[in-house]
Structure 1
Amino acid sequence: MFRFQELTVWQRALEIGIELDDLSDQLESRKRFRQAEQLRSAAMSISNNIAEGSGSSSKKDFAHFVNIAKRSAFETANMLIFFERKKLLSPSIGQPLLIQLESLCRMMESFRKSLLP
């Protein structure tokens, strides 16, 4: 088992990423291929950066990757807000995802701080 698989923050990021991947599939079915791919990429980047950072040789480097993951979560949140405003996403779907992303961001920030002296 990889180290990152034991991290609650990675597990949560993966769960949200899977939900966002499903949303990307829905966007593709509406012929929104570019938006779907960008959402999929940003969403996957969250858990990918946590996983990549866990292989770092220093806690400082790992914290840097967690910060990148947090920035990807912000990018993802921005896209969800954009999709809601363009009526590509209903608030009943978008708002719960935004709440989950906000919670994940807090979790990532706490974890990042725990890695630093």
Structure 2
Amino acid sequence: MHRFKDLEIWKRSRSFCSEIYSITSKFPESEKFGLTNQLRRASVSIPSNIAEGSSRQSNKDFARFLQITLGSAYEIETQLLIASDLGFINNEELKELSKNLESIIKMTSKFKSTLK
């Protein structure tokens, strides 16, 4: 069992979640139940799945939750590209968010590979 609060990927993903909430607060009101909601839910899913997986008794179970985490991260990547296409975020915002997300993806993948 791992202490999720000590995991750097959990700390970074929690911070990333705050970034997503901040950026989506600027989205049009008409997106409140669309892209805004989707991005927020997926971003909350990342640290939540890391935390839930860390409580599992086996590394195999934890690895499964990290796989779900990666799925949420790729979902966010797609949604950020769509938000950019629609003009809700600019290129600099997209670049910064993508860089932070890529870091989380790499860390999660590497950590997952150590659990085998």
Instruction: Give the TM-score taking structure 2 as reference length.
Output: 0.93
Deviation sequence 1:4-48 (CA, Å, 0-9, x none): 000111111111111011112222xx2121211111000110111
The structural deviation recorded for 1:86 is: 1.1
* Matched residue SS, 1:110: helix
Percentage identity across paired residues of the two chains: 32
Is residue 2:116 matched to residue 1:106?
no
Q: In structure 1, what is the equivalent of residue 59 of structure 2?
A: 59
Q: In structure 2, what is the equivalent of residue 10 of structure 1?
A: 10
Aligned-partner Cα distance in 1 for 2:42–2:102: 15
Aligned-partner Cα distance in 2 for 1:19–1:86: 19
* Matched residue SS, 1:57: coil
Q: What 5-or-longer segments of structure 2 have no aligned partner?
A: none
Aligned-partner Cα distance in 2 for 1:115–1:21: 31
Aligned-partner Cα distance in 2 for 1:115–1:24: 34
Instruction: Give the TM-score taking structure 1 as reference length.
Output: 0.92
- Structure showing greater relative contact order (alpha-carbon pairs closer than 8 Å, 6 or more residues apart): 2
What is the one-letter code of the residue matched to 1:47? P
Aligned-partner Cα distance in 2 for 1:89–1:42: 17
What is the one-letter code of the residue matched to 1:100? N
What is the one-letter code of the residue matched to 1:91? N
Aligned-partner Cα distance in 2 for 1:16–1:74: 14
Q: In structure 1, what is the equivalent of residue 38 of structure 2?
A: 38
Q: In structure 2, what is the equivalent of residue 89 of structure 1?
A: 89
What is the one-letter code of the residue matched to 1:109? S
Poorly superposed stretches of 4+, deviation over 2 Å: none
What is the one-letter code of the residue matched to 1:97? L
Deviation sequence 1:50-71 (CA, Å, 0-9, x none): 0010011100000110110011
